[in-house]
Structure 1
Amino acid sequence: MPRQSRLKSDIAIYHVMQRGINKQTIFYDDEDCFTYLQFLQECKEKSGFELYAYCLMGNHTHLLIKEVKEPLSLIFKRFGTKYAYWYNQKYQRCGHLFQDRFRSEPIKDDRQFIAVLRYIYQNPIKAGICERPEDYKWSSYRYLDNNYQLIDKNGITEIISIDELKSLTRVNTEEQFLDLKSIRMSDREADLWIKDRFTNGISSENLKLESGFQEACYKMLYELYEKGCSIRQLARLTGISREKIGRILKSNLKSKPAKRTVPLVAPVRSD
């Protein structure tokens, strides 16, 4: 029976799971986990993908990954084969290690992106391994406050701040879910908000004008961010680079330490 075609993400981001065949344990000790991550880093350097989160469990893994130069199929063929070969040599076994190489779920929008991040970080808690996500050794949650070469943290902070993400992740009661839609503005809403205040809109060229106009633009960007617009969304609407918007917001946040109130997100389908 032919394989079913994988669903595609318009933003090229996927929640990927690798499971041991017949629920085979794929990580027996720290060396196994370390080697898996080492091979993942090597593959990342060659394939050019972006990795936003990982969690290594006993018989499966969760990854939040973005295709850049190569498709997932090629990435996991190369990476999975290398780890399986190493694993089989170490444990003197033969045959397939992973079930169907990998399974993937396409990410559609920012809301689902955040939901999957939270789901991945909470995996060890729901499995009864630990009580707090930071206590689990083989999850990228431990590196949210640090620079770690394997994780592309900028891709996360364009959508949600680290403090907001950590607050979301700490709430692990199944019944408590709020909706990110209550704080996320649509592109149309944000565009109308901008045009209501600036007839000619905001652009990189506008920001080169007199300081008074520039200050008003900066204030507008900050207000939209406070209302739930992501950095990526603001860049798309204004044409200003994400890096520049990040610097503008950082400057405003220093003078105005108020935080956005971020609700919980509804759970996503798990593999």
Structure 2
Amino acid sequence: MPSQNCSHRLRTGRYSESGQIYLVTVVAVERQPVFTTYKTGRLVVEAFRKAQEEQFANSLAWVVMPDHFHWLIELQNLSLPKLMARTKSRTTVALNRATQRQGPVWQHGYHDRAIRKEEDLLAVARYIVTNPVRAGLVKKTGDYSLWDAIWV
């Protein structure tokens, strides 16, 4: 795990751009499976919807796994670091309230990858929504309830 200083150096030179499509992955602290129920997973989904409602990000595809999420977005009127800080904060507050727990939910930082225009967005979305199948949680994507994609 990179130190805080190393983590900071990895972000040096990064910038986010409105209209750019990003694949973002956020992992729970120590990969704890905190989103194991539909109810807790929907707390993350509500944060995605709020970001879209506020016109900060257009959600293209997402999946909420027990210990992380993948979110394919078109960034709109907010920087990616601010969007991720808001999303992580909202989900932490909501989960802690709903489950009477305390403390952080997410690891520091997040992984992001800008998607080039020539990349096949449908293939990226397919990769995201089939994550529960690859993880052995379900036999087919339709059996998992915490995912969505605009192409479906």
* TM-score, normalising length: structure 2: 0.81
* TM-score, normalising length: structure 1: 0.48
| Native 8 Å contact 1:21 1:99 kept in 2 | yes
Residue 113 of structure 1 corresponds to which residue in structure 2? 121
Whole-Å Cα distance in 1 between the matches of residues 98 and 147 of structure 2? 23
The structure in which a higher percent of residues are helix is 1
Matched, 1:35 2:43: yes
Root-mean-square deviation (CA, aligned residues, Å) is: 2.3
Matched, 1:73 2:84: no
- Larger RCO of the pair (alpha carbons < 8 Å, separation 6+): 2
Residue 30 of structure 2 corresponds to which residue in structure 1? 22
Moved more, 7-16 or 58-67: 7-16
Residue 132 of structure 1 corresponds to which residue in structure 2? 140
| Native 8 Å contact 1:7 1:105 kept in 2 | no
Whole-Å Cα distance in 1 between the matches of residues 81 and 87 of structure 2? 10
Larger radius of gyration: 1
- What are structure 2's unaligned runs of at least 5 residues? none
Alignment of 1:153-172 (within 5 A): 153=150
The structure in which a higher percent of residues are strand is 2
Amino acid of the residue matched to residue 22 of structure 1?
E
1:97-155 Cα offsets, whole Å, 9 max, x none, are 111242211101332423311210211111112222222211115xxxxxxxxxxx3xx
Whole-Å Cα distance in 2 between the matches of residues 87 and 116 of structure 1? 28
1:58-78 Cα offsets, whole Å, 9 max, x none, are 101111001111111111211
Residue 147 of structure 1 corresponds to which residue in structure 2? none
Compared CA separation, residues 138 and 30, structure 1 to 2 (3 A) = same
Q: Percentage identity across aligned positions?
A: 22
1:240-269 Cα offsets, whole Å, 9 max, x none, are xxxxxxxxxxxxxxxxxxxxxxxxxxxxxx
Aligned length: 144
Amino acid of the residue matched to residue 80 of structure 1?
K
